[in-house]
Structure formats: C-alpha cells, structure tokens
C-alpha cells in the first residue's frame, strides 16, 4: 500500500523544509493518539504547545513531524503549524478522486456521519473515509482531510460551528459533492440568537458545493423552505427526507424484535425495506437521510441497508451497556457526549419506549450554550419526562433547577451538585430491572459517571 504522505509531498503542500526523507501512514496532532508511522503536527495551544510533546510522539513511533522550530528527528520545518495542517488538508482534497459528503446539523450529525460512512464503506468494499470522533472544527476538518487515503472512493466529513461564518470557511476546504443537514434545533443559540440564524449558519455548508452538487435537507423542520432557498443558489439537485411530502420518506416504521426499527422507505427511484438496530424515532430520520445520500451518489441501496442493520452502538451517543446480575439485567444507555433540547426529547422518548423493564431512571445534566433561553429550554423538558413515564430523575447542577421546579412532586427527583454526587446517588438506587439514561452536554463530564457505574456494576457481578 502506498504511503499516506511522503516528506516531499508534505514539503510541497506546506512550503516547509524537510530535515530528511520519510514516509507516513497517518496524521495526528494529539500525542496520545500517535501510532507507529504517524505524522505528528505540533500545534500551538492555549495551554500547552505541541512542541513539548514531539519527543514523546517520536518515542511512540511517529515517523515525522511538522514543527515551527527545529527538533531531533525527521521533520518538516514551517512558519505556522496550524496553517501547514490546513495546507496539507487542501492538498489531500486536491489530489483525491473521492466523492465527498459534508454533514452538519444541530442534532444527529455525528451519528448520521457514522451511519453514512458505514453504508459507503460497505458499498465500496472498504474504501470510504470519515472524520473520527467529532473532529468538525477549524482544526478537526483539515486533520480529517489530511488523513484521507489517496485511494479513497468516498469521504464523509462532519462540519460544526458555534458562530456565523465558521461552516462557510470549513465547506470551502472540504468542497463537497453532496451536503446533508440533519436537523435544526436551538443548539448554540446563545451565540446566534434565534433558530432562524442557526438555520442560516448551517446553510453555509451549501457554499462549498462542487458544480452539479446535491443538497439533502430535513423536511421535518419549520426552516425547510429557508434551507431550500439557500440551497438553490449552489446546488443542482435538492432532496428532502422525513415525513409528509419528503422526497425520501418512511412508508412504514415499526419497532423490531431487538428494539430497533423495521422500516419500509420510499426513495426517488425505488422502495426498500430494512432494519436498524438503534432505537428511537430520531434514528428512523437519520437512516432516511443516509439512504437519500446513498441513492443520490448512485450506490446500491440494498447493500447500504445491510450496513445500517449491522451498525453498532456509538460511544456516548446511545451505546447500551447491559449488565447481567444474579437477579436480572440492568441497562445503562450512554448519551453522555452531547445534548440540546431536540436530542434530549428524542432520547427521553426512546427511554419511554423501552419494554421489559421495571423502572426508568434518567440522569440529566445541563445543556450548554443556550444563553438567555437556558431556563425556558431546560424547563421545557418536563413534558418529555412525564410523557416517557420516567420513574426517577437525577438532575445535575443549578442550570437544571428550572426543570426540577416543573417536575417536583410528579416524579421521583434527586438533585446533585456535580457528576460525582450524581454518581453516588445513582449507585445507591440501582437495582435489577432498571433502564438508565445518562445525558448532558459533553462539558458536564457524564462520561465519567458511565465509566464508573458500568465498571462497578460489572465488578460486583463478577465477584
């Protein structure tokens, strides 16, 4: 297999100077992720300068580095390492023959990106590429581009934003052939002020479309027409997915035996019946978006359906931990990675749909970046909790007090000052037959709760 980059190619892309000839098989700017053969980019940081970790990167097997000061070991010397990474990403996009898909949205963009990658990887025989984790910002997008294998046939790249203009800059680097917006919700409303402004910021993704490109837009949003108008300026083809008169819609969707969904969908050129293992109506919508993209790319819908059926749980985004005890099972649903009002409502509905359980418990932390709307949007979760027949709720932090005031006396309620206190409260009440949902914005740190609770329960069960 050919190398991902040679030192000569990195020199040409970045305008830097090589200390020696070398080849690399990967790219990273996190010294903790270095694998043998990687290129380590010593990025400037607000807390730590990446140059402090160059020696450690070489010790872990890095084959070369991009640096702005001379170091021991094979390297490319540049003036600005962040700009060099952007240049390497542009060079990767320039040389690639892959069909590029850009994904954004307020809710579900990472999950949909992973599902679409799985479908395109299946239809291409393993020649698809995607951004990992949520590498979707001004450093993550060029890194994801720089990592794109030269042999890739498809690439699925996620783009996120906190402010106006950020996606416009990213989409011009990605230059997608197809773009997909998953949903519009009041995430980052603190910075943007309104859902309309959020829709406009997400619509910036159309600006990078290659000639003849396709835009895929959610039908189930009051901002659909706003998105369509924005897409018309750049897209040759526009498709909608969702309910009603959407171009791609579900004819039937019923709960499958394993808790996922059995879906019959109408596409532009065909109909298909498939299953998804993920639970919840939001995953029905995600799967329709994926099939719309696969059909627009001219790929095999049936093979894509098989990939959706095989898609496993995503860490922090619905991953399910089933712990077997002597007296029964405990289900822990990890939604700790992110949260906004729409995703909170969707996952609470999913918890309400769980069958064969004794109690439903929700551990909920704050939704961040909501600004002056925070109190109202947190309080607005009350109907979702009540409709889902939640038996016990643990709420973390002062930001959750408006919600607590709405549900006190109507559902079992515990208030916790922080994640550690919530963890202790949860451990004190868990019993076999419980289904537990854990969800908050990533900055809250609920992943620590999931790790500790699952670890202690499994350790208890094994002794």
Return the DSSP state at 258: T
Q: Is 27 assigned to a binding site?
A: no
Residue 362, Cβ neighbours under 10 Å: how many? 27
Q: Is 19 annotated as a binding residue?
A: no
What residues form DSSP beta bridges with 73? Answer: none
For 93, the 3-state DSSP assignment is helix
The DSSP code for 408 is: B
Cα(121)–Cα(114) distance, integer angstroms: 10
* CA–CA dist 426, 254 (Å, integer): 32
What does the block give as tokens for 95? 């040389």
CA gap 322, 331 in Å, rounded = 5
Tell me the C-alpha distance between 182 and 288, whole Å.
10
Q: Measuring CA to CA, which residue among 209, 282, 28 is closest to residue 133?
A: 28
**Measured distance CA(332)–CA(311) in Å, rounded:** 19
Helix intervals (H) in 69-156: 81-95, 109-123, 140-146
Is 423 annotated in a binding site? The answer is no
> What is the CB neighbour count within 10 angstroms for residue 326?
7
CA atoms in the 13 A half-sphere facing the CB of 376: 7
Measure the CA–CA gap between 249 and 61, rounded to whole angstroms.
48
Residues in the chain: 463
Q: What are the CB-based long-range contacts (under 8 Å, 24+) for 431-434? A: 431/327, 431/330, 431/358, 431/359, 432/325, 432/327, 432/328, 432/329, 432/330, 432/358, 433/328, 433/329, 433/330, 433/357, 433/358, 433/359, 434/330, 434/331, 434/357, 434/358, 434/359, 434/360, 434/361
Q: Is 37 annotated as a binding residue?
A: no
83 in a known ligand binding site: no
| 107 assigned binding-site residue | yes
d(CA 11, CA 17): 6
Q: How far is it, in rounded angstroms, from Cα 6 to Cα 165? A: 33
The reply to whether 428 sits in an annotated binding site is: no
Give the whole-angstrom CA distance, residue 209 versus residue 275: 31
Binding residues: 105-111
Binding residues for ATP: 105-111
């Amino acid at each position: 297999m050919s190398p991902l980059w040679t030192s000569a190619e990195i020199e040409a892309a970045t305008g830097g100077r090589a200390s020696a000839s070398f080849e690399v098989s990967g790219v990273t700017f996190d010294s903790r992720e270095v694998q043998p053969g990687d290129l380590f980019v010593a990025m400037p940081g607000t807390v730590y300068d990446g140059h402090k970790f160059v020696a450690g990167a070489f010790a872990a097997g890095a084959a070369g580095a991009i640096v702005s000061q001379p170091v021991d070991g094979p390297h490319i010397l540049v003036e600005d390492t962040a700009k060099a990474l952007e240049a390497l990403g542009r060079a990767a996009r320039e040389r690639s023959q892959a069909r590029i898909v850009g994904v954004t949205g307020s809710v579900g963009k990472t999950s949909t990106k992973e599902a679409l990658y799985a479908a395109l990887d299946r239809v291409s025989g393993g020649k698809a590429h995607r951004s990992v984790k949520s590498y979707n910002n001004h450093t993550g997008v060029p890194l994801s581009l720089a990592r794109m294998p030269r042999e890739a046939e498809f690439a699925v790249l996620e783009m996120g934003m906190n402010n106006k203009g950020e996606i416009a800059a990213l989409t011009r680097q990605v230059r997608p052939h197809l773009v997909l917006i998953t949903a519009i919700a009041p995430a980052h409303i603190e910075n943007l002020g309104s859902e309309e402004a959020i829709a406009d910021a997400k619509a910036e993704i159309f600006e990078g479309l290659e000639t003849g490109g396709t835009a895929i837009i959610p039908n189930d949003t009051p901002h659909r027409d706003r998105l369509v108008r924005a897409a018309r300026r750049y897209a040759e083809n526009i498709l909608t997915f969702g309910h009603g008169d959407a171009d791609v819609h579900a004819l039937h969707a019923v709960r499958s035996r394993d808790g996922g969904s059995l879906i019959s969908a109408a596409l532009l050129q065909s109909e298909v019946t498939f299953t998804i293992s993920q639970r919840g109506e939001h995953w029905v919508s995600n799967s329709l978006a994926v099939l719309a993209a696969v059909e627009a790319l001219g790929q095999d819908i049936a093979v894509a359906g098989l990939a959706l059926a095989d898609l496993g749980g995503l860490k922090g985004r619905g991953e399910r931990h089933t712990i077997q005890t002597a007296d029964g099972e405990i289900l822990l649903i990890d939604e700790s990675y992110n949260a906004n009002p729409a995703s909170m409502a969707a996952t609470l509905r999913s918890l309400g749909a769980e069958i064969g359980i004794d109690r439903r418990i929700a551990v909920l932390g704050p939704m961040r970046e909501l600004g002056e709307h925070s109190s109202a949007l947190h309080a607005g979760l009350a109907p979702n909790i009540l409709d889902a027949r939640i038996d016990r709720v643990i709420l973390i932090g002062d930001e959750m007090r408006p919600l607590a005031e709405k549900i006190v006396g109507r559902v079992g309620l515990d208030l916790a000052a922080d994640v550690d206190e919530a963890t202790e409260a949860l451990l004190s009440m868990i019993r076999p037959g419980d289904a537990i949902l854990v969800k908050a914005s990533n900055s809250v740190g609920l992943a620590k709760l999931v790790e500790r609770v699952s670890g202690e329960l499994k350790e208890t069960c094994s002794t």
